[in-house]
Structures are given as C-alpha cells and as structure tokens.
Amino acid sequence: MRQRRALHVASANDPRTSTHSLQGLRSNYAWWYTPICAGATLMTAALLMSACADASSTTSDTASAPSNSANATTSASSNEASTTGVRANVTTSPDTALAARPASSTRPALELAKAKQLAVEQSIAARVPSASGMTEKRSRPLTLRDSGIDGSLMFARDVDFRVTGDIGFMIHDMAATLSPARPGQPIVFDDPTSVTINVHRGHVTLDTAKLTAIFNRYLFQYQGSPLRNMRVMPQDGGNLRITGEMHRDTWVPIVLSGSLSMRNPDELVFHADHVEVAGVGADKLMQAAHVKMADLLKVDTPIARLEGDDVVMQVAKLTPPPALHMTITQIETSAAGVRFTLDDRSVPNIVWPATMPARGMLVQGGDVKFMRSMPMNIDMALTPVDGKAPFVLDLYHYREQMAAGYFTFDEAGALDVHLPSYTTLASADKDTALQTGSASARFNDSFIRAQQAALAQARLVWQHVPQTMRTAAVARAIPVGTRAAFSGQSMATPGSALSNERHSSGPAPLIHVENVDFYVSGRIGFHVRTLDAQMVPKKPGQPVDLDDPDQYDIRIISGEVVEPWPAMAALFNDYLLDYEPRSLNDLQLKPVDGKLEVSSGIKLWNHFPGVWLPTTMSGSIVAKDERHLVYQPTSVKVLGVPQAGLLRALDIPLASLTPFTRKGVALKGNELVFDQYTVFPPPVLQGRLASATVTDEGLVLKFKRDGNVAAARPPAGAGKSFVWIESGDVKMFNSLVTNTRTFIKDSSNPGVMKFDLYGYRKDVSKGTVKMGEDGGLDVDLAVRK
C-alpha cells in the first residue's frame, strides 16, 4: 500500500516519474481500478491501461521496451558461459528478441539442482586417498585429465595373483601402494613396466606350481641355460627339493635339497645341503674334493647367481614386471608351499576399508588406466564372479578376464569389476607352451617381450582414428625392451603411445542416437528418430565431461527429432517459467487440425490482476531461419472471449500486455520466438533447422546436413534403439575414456530406450557395463538382477 500511494501522489514532473511514467501509471491505475476490473476481461483491462497511458501524455522508454528489445542484437557467443554455469546470451539476427535480461536473475531450480550435484561429484573427485595408515598426496592440480595424485592404495585378500601363467603367488592378505614408474603418468594395467608395487604388509604363499614356474619358466628358461626341466617341491620340515637336469657336456639329472632364508632385505638364498647327480649322492665326494655347486654350474644372471652352494636371488625381480618391492620378515616351508610374511614396518595392522570385497582386490586413489578407460582418483574393487571357486587374476591376460566379466558403478563413481577366474577361460589353455628367453638376457625375457608386443598391437586398435575423422597423426606404440624394464630406463620413447595415455588424437566425440527418448533432465527432452551430432568442449583440448552440461556444446550434424507436447509443456512449466514474478503459468499444449493450441494462465505486466486469467491461443509454428522457431497465434481467447481481432484493431501487441523474455525464448509483438540453441537446459544444442511441423505426436524438427563434419559409424547389428559415442575423449563418472567407443542400450526394453543426460549416473548404476578386448564399452541400462 505504501508503494502504491507513493506512485499515486508522485508529480508528473518528478524525474523519477517521467522516466518511468507509463509503468507508474499502470501500477497506479491497476491498484485504483481493481474493484472495477475484478470481473473484466483482458481486453477491458488493456483498453483501460491504454487510456491511462494516453492521459499521461508521456512517452517512456519503458513503454517502448518490448518493441525495442524485440529488435535488439546480442553480442555474446553461444559458446560462452560464466563460471557458475549461467550461459551468456547468444548472437542473434537484428530482428530477434532473445537478448533481453531475464525477468529474474535466479537460476531455474533444475539448473541449481544440477550444479549442486556437480559440486558433490567434484568433491568426491578431489578427495585424497587414505586407509589403514597409508595415504597419498596430491602433487598437481586436479583437472579433467589428471587427479594430480601419482600413487594408489592397494588391498588384496584371498587372490591367486599371477603375473602370467603360473608365475605369481597366492595372496592371503596384503596392503601395498602402487607407484607409477614416471611421476605424472597414470598406472597402466596393460603395461606392467609402468608401475612398482610396494608391499607394506601381508602374507603370500608360493606352492609347487608357482615355485616351479618361477625356476623352470622364468629364472632358467633361456638360451644357453645350464639348467632345465626343473621342479621345485616344498616339504614339511622346512626344506625344498629341486629336481632337474644340469649341463655337463650332456644333460645330467640333478637333485638339490635345502632351505630358503633371507641374506638381507633384497636377497633370498636357497642353500643346498644335499646334492644328487645322476641318482648318486654327491655330498661326501664334493666335500672331499672341495667342490662347490658353483664349480659345477655357471649361474650369473640379473636375477640369480650361484655362490658356492647357495643360489642367491633378487627378491624384487623374482617375477616378470611389475617391479615388486617387499620386505620378507619370516619364511615358513611346508608341503603346502613356502609362506612369506611381509612387513616393512610402515603399517602396524591391515584395516580393511569398508568397500573391501570378501575376496579380491581394492585400488583407491590415483589414476589407473586399462585399455581405453582411466578411472581418476580410482575407487575400484576387483571381485570374482564365482564367489566359491578360487579367484585367479592373471595380470598379463587381464583383458580376456575383463571381456568375459562385467562392471558395475555406484552413483558416486565407485567401480566394481566382476571377473571370472582366468583358469576358467578357454584362452588359458593357449598359455601352456614353454617360451625360451634370449641368451643375452640370461633369463626368460620372452614373457615381457610377448606382452609388450601384444600391448603395441592393442594400442594400435585403441588409438586408431579412421582417415575420414583424422585430425592428427596417431601415435604409434613402440615395444619396450626387457633390459630397459629392469634398468629403470624411461619408457617414454618419443612418439610412443605411452606418452599420451591421457589424450587421443581424434576429433571431438561424435554421437549417433537412434530411436531413443532422449531426456535432458526430468520430463524435458525429445524422441530422437535419428540424430548425428558432435559433443564439443568449450575449451579446446579438454575432454567432454558428461557430468557438467555447461562444459560442452552439442552440435547437430543431421537428423530428425520429435518434441512431444508433454515434454514441450515441461520445458515451460519446469524450466522457462521457473521465476517470479512471471506473466505466464501452467502451459498446456495440444495439436488441433495442424495448428498448436496453447492454454495457460496470464497476468498483465507480470502482476495485474492478482489472479491468473485463463487464456487459450491457437496458431502455427514455423522455422523462421536455421536457428529460430516462431509461434504465430491467430486466435487468442481470454476467459473464453476472443480478443485477437480487437488487439490487432487497436494495435496492441501481446508483448506489451504480457512481457515474457527468458533465456532462449521471448514474446516479440504477437509472436513467441524460440532460439533452439539455448531454449533447452544446458548443454547448448546447435543445429541448422530445415523445418518444423506440428503433428499429433509432437513438434517434428528436421535438421540440415552439415557436410563439414564426419558422422559417427555405429557398429553393425547395433539394433533399433541405442546411443553410440565414438572418437574423442569423454569423462563419464570419474573415468576418462580416450578415443571412446561406447555403446548404450537397454536389453530389457524391446521398444524405445530412455536415456536421461542429467541422470545417466543413476541409470547406469542400476545396469551393467562390459568392456571388449578392443577397449570399447557396452553399457546396458537394463536393471541387473
């Protein structure tokens, strides 16, 4: 009342009143004539206000604002956005009215909710790993490609861990840290030379098969080796029995019996206290002749050497890479195997994290890459598919295990990898042939040579960019020599793929959507009949972050979509009209004889009268140009009374009575103009409109083909409803996928799949993800049982 009185008594000569005279008079008379207008129609109110404006004899800037803003030209690029995610107005043609200031500076609740969700996800990405007395530090800034943390915490229990074949050890329990060989680079599962395992505490056992594999297949399986056909059998009482053949002009059977002990923290010693040669005990003869085993055999390799009757072995090199640093504090030998107690005194007790599986491994913190995918600040559990059978994990063949298993995510980004035991796979039978190492290496280096050659070939697949999409030369992988692996030399050969683990060379990610109900958020979205597009980060060189819709744009290459009328109504009611005060409320849309009928409530100048006036409009929607849609009402009814003709006769545009300007949409004169770039919630949708057609199903939008961008190529047999993402780097959850090949489907739905961009984490967390041996991801949104 105080404000209204002030407006009523203000002098027409007051500068404040003269600047906004019509607005003041309107507010004044709206209050003064409220009793009169209580039952009046919109037309009566309009005429009354027009009369008041004429009586004032004042022409104000505000009165002309609707038509002036209708001719305004924005200067901001559609690709610009503030740090809070509020997108700047986009450049429009001179006759487009979409640049005016929104009626409210408050962001819609939908955008605020997404921003809050993103903040939570970013806080999780920014955490520093710490568990069981172990911790890692952030040494670099957190980015979309780098967590800034070099190391990872690793916990394992009841895992039959194999480096390759039978070479490995049974882990009963273990706490360790994984450190990249080169700071700043991720740990790479596919490249064992990229990581060092620092064991802090645990218990492991080597049984007959594993001891035999280490001695027979690794330590002494090389060209010119003085030993062959070795077998190592632990026995009760603390002894080892080793059988084989030694070369003395010919191959002679030999049996050694003795014990294992630690000479120092770095060296493990097998001391032979009984020797048989060709079935004859040689102990007394050797003692009498002062002959030692070193006199009979020449063993001097980078891993083992013979000193007197002792075989001295380098603990860190007893298995092929990765490098293994551990402190053995106790050795127990029985028929079950040799059990080692490991303790570097840095972890008093292993305290299992809450997410530690009953059997398996847990890796937390740092960046760990497998094939194309790199979980950042990783929180990953490796668990067996079969909870009862022994769990064998083969590092050099993990890709086959992953391809035969599946992934599950939770909404926070934690990853569970469910793997079959390697020994249950058919491919395990192919790994039985004995390989021979080179004479120069003096140990069986064929394992790492074969692994690195397979890695080089796999990288060519993971990094391949089709010629039609190629924007830069694809880095070629160069196999790493075994000598370099053991000498600690840098693996970052110029031009090698290893120096680009966080990047790919292809174009920005391409997406093909086929027969999908594609929702941006909530009820707002489209039915996509077919669509090709490119997801382009606003900052060149960045990956596309699916969790941050303000970080990238979607540029439509070609296609056809349907905006169902309920979804279009939701666009208004849940997004565009989420502000106060507003002039429109509760829009409902339906097609009638090829035209669009819009029903809503309106208020004059956002506040007069104090109730919503039921209004119905009918008209057509046309594509004004390649960017803008225009709704042109030919019929307007307020309280059931036709008003369009009278408004035209009095030259009173709708925009002067019900001003409405929001990001992406504005009432200009008697037309509602949509900017299809920005009318939807982020990300920006950029496409060249060809046509817009009102149908019973919805508003059908067709887009012109952009011949400057190659479209994605979905895999053969993709099905009838799917999303395919190809090329470029995409961050999903907390995982960066380089040169992505991601296929999204819903196997439980034979019809049309629903995909929610803002809610993809929730949907994916209910389903399963599979990874092929080519690194491609197959995401199934079907709720897992």
Query: Which residue, among 448, 435, 486, has the nearest Cα to 301 in the 3D structure?
Result: 486
Phi, psi of 52 (to 5 degrees): -60, -40
Distance CA 344, CA 201 (A): 7
Mean pLDDT of 400-406: 96
pLDDT tens, residue by residue, 134-165:
999 999 999 999 999 999 999 999 999 999 99
Euclidean distance between CA atoms 455 and 449, whole angstroms: 10
CA distance linking residue 424 with residue 667, whole number of Å: 67
DSSP letters, 125-139, are HT---EETTEE--B-
Return d(Cα 221, Cα 442) in angstroms, integer: 8
Residues 635, 644: Cα–Cα separation, whole Å: 6
Above 80 in pLDDT, residue 305?
A: yes
Model pLDDT, residue 102: 44
Asked whether 642 and 635 are in contact (CB, 8 A), the reply is yes
> What Rg value do the Cα atoms of the chain yield, rounded?
36
Helix (H, G, I), strand (E, B) or coil at 248: strand
Structure tokens at 485: 């692996």
- pLDDT at residue 45 tops 80: no
Residues in CB range of 487: below 8 A, 6 or more apart: none
Neighbours of 438 (CB within 10 A): 16
Q: What CA–CA distance (Å, rounded) separates 745 from 52?
A: 62
- Residue 625 main-chain phi, psi, to 5 deg: -150, -165
For 613-647, the pLDDT digits (tens) are 888 989 999 999 999 999 988 888 876 656 555 55
State yes or no: pLDDT of 533 exceeds 60.
yes
> Rounded CA gap, 172 and 489, in Å?
33
Distances (CA, A) of 769 to 9, 378, 415, 594, 775: 71, 17, 10, 44, 12
Q: Which amino acid is at 497?
A: A
Least confident of 219-223, 247-251, 608-612: 608-612
Q: Are 225 and 241 in contact (CB under 8 A)?
A: no
Contacts of 504 (CB under 8 A, 6+ apart): 463, 465, 727, 728, 729, 738, 739
What six digits make up the tokens of 152? 């990872």
- For the segment 310-331, what is each residue's pLDDT rounded down to a tens digit? 999 999 999 999 999 999 999 9
Beta bridge partners of 269: 261, 312
Q: How confident is the model at residue 88 (pLDDT cuts 50, 70, 90)?
A: very low
Residues 232-261, mean pLDDT to the nearest whole number: 94
Predicted local confidence at residue 34, as pLDDT: 34
Average pLDDT of every residue of the chain: 83
Q: Is the pLDDT of residue 418 over 50?
A: yes
Angle at 765 (CA atoms; ends 760, 769), nearest 5 degrees: 95
Can you tell me the distance from the alpha carbon of 235 to that of 255, in angstroms, rounded to the nearest whole number?
14
Rama region for 229: left / alpha / beta (φ>0; ψ in -120 to 50; rest): left
Owner of token pair 């090329």: 727
Cis link prior to 633 (omega < 30° from 0)? no
Query: Nearest to residue 654, comparing CAs of 662, 643, 640, 663?
Result: 643
In 525-657, where does DSSP find H-type helix?
565-571, 644-649, 654-657
What's the sign of the alpha-carbon dihedral 211, 217, 218, 221? positive
Q: How confident is the model at residue 606 (pLDDT cuts 50, 70, 90)?
A: low
Contacts of 708 (CB under 8 A, 6+ apart): none
Residue 106's pLDDT band (cuts 50, 70, 90): confident
The string of DSSP codes covering 381-450 is EEEESSSSS--EEEGGGHHHHHHHSEEEE-TT--EEEEE--GGGSGGGGGG-SPP-B-TTTTS-THHHHH
pLDDT at position 652: 60
pLDDT of residue 638: 78
pLDDT of the residue at 473: 36
Taking residues 745-768, what's their average pLDDT? Answer: 97
User: Distance between CA 457 and CA 465 in Å, rounded?
Assistant: 15
- Residues recorded for the chain: 785
Average pLDDT for 721-734: 96
pLDDT computed for residue 139 by the predictor = 94
Helices (H), 552-695: 565-571, 644-649, 654-657
205 or 387, greater pLDDT? 205
The mean pLDDT value for 722-747 works out to: 97
Q: If you average pLDDT over residues 64-82, what whole number do you get?
A: 33
Residues 319 and 214 sit within 8 Å (Cβ to Cβ): yes
Q: What integer pLDDT is reported at residue 63 of this predicted model?
A: 32
Predicted confidence band of residue 657 (pLDDT cuts 50, 70, 90): low
Residue 764, pLDDT score: 97
How confident is the model over 672-707, as pLDDT tens digits?
999 999 999 999 999 999 999 999 999 999 999 998
Closest CA to 188 of 741, 769, 768, 775: 775
In the chain, the amino acid numbered 7 is L
Q: Can you read off the two tokens belonging to residue 270?
A: 């097998």
Mean pLDDT (whole number) for 192-210: 97
Please state the rounded mean pLDDT for residues 738-748.
97
Q: What is the spatial distance between Cα 446 and Cα 66, in angstroms, rounded to a whole number?
A: 78
Helix (H, G, I), strand (E, B) or coil at 721: coil
Backbone angles phi, psi at 200, to 5 degrees: -100, -35
Instruction: Look at 295 and 562; give whichever has higher pLDDT.
Output: 562
Nearest C-alpha neighbor of 365 from the set 356, 378, 355, 354? 378
- Collapsed DSSP state (helix, strand, coil) of residue 687: coil
Mean pLDDT of 365-384: 97
Q: What is the side-by-side order of every strand in the sheet holding 373-375?
A: 373-375, 735-737, 730-732, 544-545
From 97, 107, 112, 116, select the one nearest 578 (Cα to Cα). Answer: 107
Please give the share of the chain, as a percent, with pLDDT higher than 90.
68
Please report which confidence band the pLDDT of residue 648 belongs to, taking 50, 70 and 90 as the band edges.
low
Task: Give the pLDDT score at 180.
Answer: 95
Residue 546: helix, strand or coil by DSSP?
A: coil
- What does the block give as tokens for 427? 């491919």
**Which tokens belong to 435?**
């390989």
Q: Model confidence at 731, in pLDDT bands (50, 70, 90)?
A: very high
Peptide bond between residue 609 and the one before it cis (omega within 30 degrees of 0): yes
β-pairing, 337-343 with 328-334?
antiparallel
Model confidence at 46, pLDDT cuts 50, 70, 90, reads: very low
- Is the confidence at residue 83, as pLDDT, over 60? no
Q: What is the pLDDT of residues 543-583, one digit of tens each?
A: 999 999 999 999 999 999 999 999 999 999 999 999 888 88
| Nearest-angstrom CA–CA distance, 708 and 714 | 19
Compute CA distances 4 → 8, 42, 50, 566, 656, whole Å: 6, 22, 19, 40, 21
pLDDT digits (tens, 9 = 90+) for 264-284: 989 999 999 999 999 999 888
Residues 6+ apart with CB under 8 A from 275: 254, 255, 256, 257, 281, 282, 283, 286, 293, 309
Host H or E run for residue 255 = strand 250-264
